[in-house]
Homo-oligomer: A and B are copies of this chain.
Amino acid sequence: MRRLGGKEVADEIMADLKIRVDALKAKGTEPKLAILRVGQREDDLAYERGVLKRFGTIDVAVEVTELDAGVSQEELDKTFDSINNDPKVHGILVFRPLPKGLSDEHMRRTIDPGKDVDFMDIRNMEDCLAGVRDCSAPCTAEAVMELIRHYQIETKGKKVTVVGRSLVIGKPVALLLTTANATVTVCHTKTVNTEEECKRADIIVACCGVAKIINENYVREGQIVIDVGMNVDEEGKLCGDVDYDKVSEIAEAVTPVPGGVGSITTAILLKHVVVNAERQA
């Protein structure tokens, strides 16, 4: 069994980005991400630490604005507007869902498409829908495609089963894989026989958010299994949607959790910031 690690993929992306960031700085442009966080949810803080670390490795600025969980809608929107209008900002990441009682509608509706590195406004997913090759996409979906590219996994004419139909990963990754000439089936909670749909696939993309649901009954020899899940198991340990121990005994290649797709996501976020800074420069 091959372990498809994410670090190797992220390293490759970062090596390219370092050159591009140096070139930008030489021309006087400092790429910058603005994070807007409301409250202090542990998940958000963990991801924020990951972003700070990743961006720090090649010295790209991250400006964190923290608002109290009890902030008013007006204050939140005003803070967002000032970040959105700041010409020195090349990307905005807002942690969502927001605390209860706050809406992200104003932000989603007004974010500058040139700063929407996290695809808050789904209208910015038009290239995924249009079938533009190698287009930008929500970070995790693009991370899956980068992993496939890095490990030279053939998609043309292959059967792919995507388990999950969310807007942040299931749907965009299905669209990207269709553009990459795979024959894609999207399974979800109302699918009658997800095991069979998975077994028939050459590649499985698990992104349903249920700990270890993809087990030995869903896989067969020769398959590539890409795990996008990020869950906590009964022992409090981080795990994916795939039961790695069992599936790795059968499948040809599996991405681990942690250390798989999740390790690529912040590199993609950084790539989006760099692309926007390049466009503006």
- Interfacial residues, chain A to chain B (CB-CB below 8 A): 122-126, 129-131, 156-157, 159, 165, 167, 171, 175, 178, 181, 183-188, 190-192, 197
Contacts and interface: CB of A to CB of B under 8 A. Distances in A.
Given A178-B186, A181-B190, A167 B129 contact: yes
B122 A191 contact: no
Contact of A183 (B124, B159, B171, B185): B185
A187 B191 contact: no
A183 B171 CA distance: 13
A188 B192 CA distance: 24
B131 A122 contact: no
Given A126-B123, A157-B191, A183 B197 contact: yes
Contacts of A124: 123
A192 B183 contact: yes
In the assembly, how many copies of this chain are there? 2
A171 B126 CA distance: 12
Nearest to A179: B165
A126 B122 contact: yes
B191 A183 contact: yes
B183 A188 contact: yes
Nearest to A175: B171
A186 B183 contact: yes
A162 B131 CA distance: 16
Contacts of A157: 190-192
A123 B159 CA distance: 28
Q: Which residue among A156, A184, A187 has the maximum number of chain B CB atoms within 10 Å of its CB? A: A184
Contacts of A197: 183
A159 to B, nearest CB: 8
Contacts of A125: 129
B156 A190 contact: yes
A123 B165 CA distance: 19
Contact of A167 (B130, B165, B192): B130
A122 B156 CA distance: 25
Contacts of A192: 157, 159, 183
A165 B188 contact: no
A191 B186 CA distance: 16
B184 A185 contact: yes
A165 to B, nearest CB: 6
A178 B175 CA distance: 13
Contacts of A184: 185-186
B131 A165 contact: yes
